[in-house]
A and B are shown apart, each in its own frame.
Chain A
Amino acid sequence: GAGVSQSPSNKVTEKGKDVELRCDPISGHTALYWYRQSLGQGLEFLIYFQGNSAPDKSGLPSDRFSAERTGGSVSTLTIQRTQQEDSAVYLCASSFPGSPRGQYFGPGTRLLVL
């Protein structure tokens, strides 16, 4: 079946612009996660959704970052007033809840802020 998909695959933006990154999870996966992968910091957890609610937003680095999920499916990660340090690969993952079967990752969105 289809895996986790993310769009766009690459995004180049200018400092100060807003960007939206999209994640389409595996059908039936009610849990959805965003991570950030950067050279200096490795893989960092950003936010976790169960259904449409986000019980853990502890990893969002600043109030410029926000995320939402609608219909228990697609999620959008929004970065406002982008900064050069936001440049990274943003990875989305999904899983079934309640059982640690592992999270399944999308290909990521590579964001470059000039």
Chain B
Amino acid sequence: AQSVTQLDSQVPVFEEAPVELRCNYSSSVSVYLFWYVQYPNQGLQLLLKYLSGSTLVKGINGFEAEFNKSQTSFHLRKPSVHISDTAEYFCAANGGSNYKLTFGKGTLLTVNP
């Protein structure tokens, strides 16, 4: 069975600092990977996705993620965060069938002034 692990449940950072949110997956088959963001009392918004090709994926709001097959990781990064980036971030994977996304438990990013 597929699983997704987000190693940090909470990450506090100061505004304009860089941030990395960690995600590891386990899968015995080809996998597609996603990062979603959830602002308070809202649904999930797709930030970026890795399907194939270049291992560095750029998404919206200045975020990027790097697929590392040998380490089974897909960490999310941003070089300089804003207060408005405060939200919960979810890493997700599926086995290429385009259904049944498996989510990590989420990482709450809090950006402080």
Contacts and interface: CB of A to CB of B under 8 A. Distances in A.
Co-complex (A, B): yes
A48 B49 CA distance: 20
A59 to B, nearest CB: 8
Interface of B: 32, 34, 36, 42-46, 49, 51, 90, 92, 94, 96, 98-106
Contacts of A104: 46
Contacts of B98: 31, 95, 97-101
Interface residue tally on A, bucketed by range: 20 to 34
Contacts of A98: 98
B90 A105 contact: no
A33 B100 CA distance: 8
Nearest to B98: A100
6 contacts: A97-B98, A99-B98, A100-B32, A100-B49, A101-B98, A105-B45
Interface string A38-52: 000011010010000
Interface string A61-79: 0000000000000000000
A42 B101 contact: no
A105 B44 contact: yes
A100 B106 contact: no
Given A42-B105, A45-B101, A104-B46, 18 more contacts: A35-B101, A42-B104, A43-B90, A43-B92, A43-B106, A45-B100, A48-B99, A56-B99, A56-B100, A59-B100, A91-B44, A99-B98, A100-B32, A100-B51, A100-B94, A102-B34, A105-B44, A108-B43
